[in-house]
């Protein structure tokens, strides 16, 4: 019999997956920021529930860090940045009209790629974060704006931590999460520094 906790985790997981599809199709920066904040909040909730169920203080601390940094602090920094640049009020973040179709094809492909993992572990718990991992990669490669790619990177962080939490009892998961957040802050600092000097930039403008 499926427990209430498992049902809640499944509902949260499906909602996280839906946010990934929305990230693929959203064209405006302020909406992208709100979506990644919501996704990170859901991931924090998932980590907290798993941490409570498994009596893992590391996961509970990581849930707090996830909510504090990826659901609150980083989105606040990004929203503050785009409010300073009036161009964002009318500027679309370029995306393809076929993003949702490509995302669905990629999700189906990722599902079949997960089958060998299921055969090795006998567990389907990791399938949602595995799909999220591939969709987050598509967010990164499908965008050309640097801030939008940061959002894709944060979604990638979320998927990696989600996958680690449901598939392993890795004792260094807290340190792993903190390392990913540090990398995100370094990338964000570089991009915001470039935007302060040159205005909103595309990825190609950061190369060289």
**Do residues 150 and 166 touch, judged by C-beta distance below 8 A?**
no
- Summarised one tens digit per residue, pLDDT across range 73-96 is 989 988 887 777 666 655 556 666
Q: Is 28 helix (H, G, I), strand (E, B) or coil?
A: strand
Q: How confident is the model at residue 43 (pLDDT cuts 50, 70, 90)?
A: very high
Q: What is the pTM of this model?
A: 0.84
DSSP class of residue 176 equals H
Instruction: Identify which of 77, 76, 51, 75 has the alpha carbon closest to the alpha carbon of residue 63.
Output: 51
Range with the poorest average pLDDT among 59-63, 153-157, 161-165, 179-183:
179-183
Q: How many C-beta atoms lie closer than 10 Å to residue 33's C-beta?
A: 24
Distance CA 208, CA 58 (A): 40
Among 100-104, 142-146, 173-177, whose mean pLDDT is lowest?
Answer: 173-177
């Amino acid at each position: 019999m499926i427990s209430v906790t498992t049902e809640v985790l499944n509902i949260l997981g499906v909602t996280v997956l839906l946010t990934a599809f929305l990230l693929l199709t959203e064209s405006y920066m302020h909406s992208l920021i709100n979506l990644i904040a919501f996704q990170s909040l859901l991931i924090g909730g998932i980590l907290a529930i798993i941490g409570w169920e498994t009596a893992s203080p590391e996961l509970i601390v990581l849930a707090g860090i996830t909510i504090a940094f990826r659901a609150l602090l980083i989105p606040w920094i990004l929203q503050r940045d785009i409010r300073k640049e009036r161009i964002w009020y009318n500027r679309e973040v370029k995306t393809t009209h076929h993003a949702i179709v490509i995302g669905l094809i990629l999700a189906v492909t990722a599902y079949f790629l997960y089958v060998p993992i299921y055969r090795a572990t006998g567990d389907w718990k990791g399938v949602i974060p595995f799909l999220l991992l591939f969709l987050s990669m598509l967010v990164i490669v499908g965008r050309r704006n640097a801030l939008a790619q940061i959002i894709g990177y944060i979604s990638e962080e979320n998927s990696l931590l989600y996958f680690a939490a449901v598939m392993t009892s890795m004792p260094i998961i807290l340190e792993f999460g903190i390392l990913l957040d540090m990398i995100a802050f370094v990338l964000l600092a570089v991009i915001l520094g470039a935007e302060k000097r040159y205005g909103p930039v595309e990825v190609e403008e950061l190369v060289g």
